[in-house]
Amino acid sequence: MLKKRRLVALMLSVGVAAAWIATPTAGIGQHKEDDHSHAPKAARNMKNPLTATPENIKSGRGVFVENCSMCHGEDGKAKTEMASVMEVKPADLTRSDDLTDGEIFWLITNGIEKSGMPDFKARISEEARWQVALFVKTLMQEDEHRHGRRPGR
């Protein structure tokens, strides 16, 4: 019985290790063209029903700080104590300029299971998730202005 348990544990360990090695761990903005980091292609075309007003961005920032900053940091750079001990590092959101509002919304809504990012569909209203997408886009734009990078979509 003990040998059988050890064999099962060894096989399980090998399987987990193989899956871990085969799993891509790139950040949200670090992906191949047309591989928009875990979001399906349809998400790329989703349109934000909200406009980027100061009120919507401020609301999105509040939701972001409350729910996302522990891992991504208030500035979106993912240089937090929590991020430093995570096996799969959170994305630096200031470097994710090729993501659309729809992809950001989809990622917030559904999470990223492989990285441990939870889904927020039941925790944050749809409107608030779109507001967070607007706020994240401002993080990307601030970085573009600082570093002279081409604006994202």
In a domain, 9, yes or no: no
Is 15 inside a domain boundary?
Answer: no
Q: How far apart are CA 111 and CA 67, in angstroms?
A: 12
Residue 78, in any domain of the structure: yes
Q: Which residues pair with 117 in a beta bridge?
A: 112
Compute the mean pLDDT over every residue in the chain, rounded to the nearest whole number: 79
Please check whether residue 87 lies inside any domain of the structure. Answer: yes
**DSSP state, residue 121:** T
Give the structural domain span for 140.
Answer: 27-147
Structure confidence at residue 123 as a pLDDT band (50, 70, 90): very high
Domain count, the chain: 1
Please report whether residue 34 resides in a domain.
yes
108 found inside a domain = yes
pLDDT on residue 80: 96
The pLDDT assigned to 63 comes to: 98
Residue 42 resides in a domain:
yes
